[in-house]
Amino acid sequence: MSRTASGADLHDRAQAQYHPVDKLGKILAKKCDDERGINGVTGDVFARYVFPKFPDLGMKLFQYLRHSSRAKTDHLGVTAFRQQCEKFLGILDDSVILESYVKMFGDMNDQNELIKPENLKELLRTCYNLSMSTYQDGPQSCRLLDRTLNSVVQSCFFSKESLSSGYICRWLENNVPRLVPPIHKYCVHALSTSHRTIIDKNMKNNSDTVVSISAINAGESSYGLELQTPILEKASPNFAANGATGTTSNPGKPLTQAERERMIIQQPLLPLSEAWLLAGALPQIYSRPQSIQSPHNASSTNLASQVFMAKLLSMMPSHWTLLYDSRQDGAGTNRFLHHVLGYRGPNLVLFRCDDDLLFCVANAQEWRETHLYYGSEDSCCVQLLPKFVMLEQKPKSLYLNTHIRGYPKGLRAGSDPRKPILIVDEHFEKLEHRGLQHKILSIEVWGCGNTQQREVQLDIKNWQIKEAERQRTVKLTAADWIDHPDRYLLELGGRQNYNNSSS
């Protein structure tokens, strides 16, 4: 007589089938036994197979799991490894997730759980490297990354040598709330899918660990994350050829003061690391991924492929378009208005001033000239250098007026009209912050909307140019010329008989 599986047997079988962590633990334990002769999971094997691209992050996570299990050995048993991974995957609260990673990059042997500046900097550097791993043009490096990370660390620690993990978590939540969550998504995905990508030649007959090549490729293709850092429009080659790199004709000769100032001015206002920082600090409207509409032609034979491409393109990151650069487009109020007005999407205005100051005014709406303060709740004012500070995020905090008489002229940011946070004069030459005036060295404006909003602005500009040309060549009738102001100017200048060819 054949025996049938009881309900408990079926339940255990279902659990074994849908427990990727249990499968991962068995695979790693087998590899540790073969390579090291250890009955369990070691940190180096865990990092090498589960986090092949980021072994340092894998070691940090393994040490955190080992610390949470209070293990006395350098390795974890299969049961302890499975329990700690399941506990880690079960974290859903954002504040708990943030606290876990702050402690993970801290000194877990310290009973006081104090975090040092180098610990926070290492966490932020890992966040940046992880975000750049799926960049459109491949992994990107930024030569100004240390400057960006130091601005955040110095703002958080000020002059303290160490801070509690709770304070660090609260500061990150209030200032850069979206920098750390991508790490957790990556770790959860790695723990949940790595068992499909690890093939052990000695276990080919084990149905629990062997998967098809197509499943492995599918796992590898979905291993990346949705890109949080926007794609920046590249600078024009003409500007780079004119010395944007700051090099001199004689490399061995010391730089003069004028050459140093030119190098400071020619540095990019928005390097890739600053864009990554702004994307993690500002509201999501500025870095929201582009959305592609699904195909509407249901009768198409390639509908399935069109739907797949639509889903793939809908995950494309946002593209920030350079609307205005005072170093290329010319400085002054008129040049700023010419390149910025008419853009109906979210945008960022960056002011580089002397004393190494860099400010950013984020406007979620279109800029318009008015004597009233306006702006949505996503309007922000940020100081990026020398320290990162979220100065304010409130509605009705933006002001732009260049021609309305009787009201202050220039650009202002701040919800209190009596004490604005930033005051830019009407000529866009000086910026005032906290009662101190600073000289503006350069200005950049980046459009954070979609391509349609940029095309609308360009269409408006083309229409204005054509309209100006049309009005310039318009022919006046005799009746129009009698009341035309140019007629009286000619008469005042002594040209009474302007219609007489002999005069």
Give the pLDDT of residue 220.
39
| 385-394 tens-digit pLDDT | 999 999 999 9
For residues 259-282, average pLDDT: 75
Cβ atoms 313, 223 nearer than 8 A:
no
With beta carbons less than 8 A apart as the criterion, state whether 380 and 396 touch: no
Nearest CA to 338 among 445, 419, 242, 414?
A: 445
On the 0-12 / 13-18 / 19+ scale of CB atoms within 10 A, 155 is middle
Q: Tens digit of pLDDT for each residue in 448-478?
A: 887 666 666 666 666 666 666 666 666 666 6
- How would you classify the pairing of strands 430-433 and 357-363? unpaired
- The predicted pLDDT at position 377 comes to 94
Read off the pLDDT band of 230 (50, 70, 90): confident
- pLDDT reading at 489 higher than 80: no
Prediction pTM value: 0.75
432: pLDDT strictly greater than 90: yes
Read off the pLDDT of each residue in 358-376 and give the average, rounded to a whole number: 93
Comparing 16-20, 326-330, 347-351, the range with the smallest average pLDDT is: 16-20
CA distances for 190 relative to 11, 123, 195, angstroms:
26, 18, 9
Cβ–Cβ under 8 Å, residues 441 and 267: no
Q: What is the pLDDT of residue 329?
A: 87
Domain ranges for the chain: 19-196, 315-473
Q: What is the distance between the alpha carbons of residues 334 and 500, in angstroms, rounded to a whole number? A: 39
The answer to whether residue 310 scores a pLDDT higher than 70 is no
- Kindly state the average pLDDT of the residues 324-345: 90
Please state the rounded mean pLDDT for residues 201-206: 44
Confidence of residue 205 (pLDDT cuts 50, 70, 90): very low
**For residues 71 and 251, which has the higher predicted lDDT (pLDDT)?**
71
Comparing 441 with 215, which gets the higher pLDDT?
Answer: 441
Full DSSP string of 428-488? S-EEEETTEEEEEEEEEEEE-S-HHHHHHHHHHHHHHHHHHHHHHTPPPPHHHHHT-HHHH
What are the DSSP calls for 128-156, one per residue?
Answer: HHHHHTT-TTSS---TTHHHHHHHHHHHH
pLDDT for residue 399 is more than 50? yes
Give residue-wise pLDDT tens across range 83-119. Answer: 999 999 988 888 999 999 999 998 877 566 789 999 9
Q: Which range, 107-111, 237-241, 333-337, has the best average confidence (pLDDT)?
A: 333-337
**Phi, psi at 376, each rounded to 5°:** -85, 180
Percent share of the chain, pLDDT over 90:
41
Say which residue, 462 or 346, is predicted with more confidence: 346
- The hierarchical CATH code for the domain 19-196 is 1.10.238.10
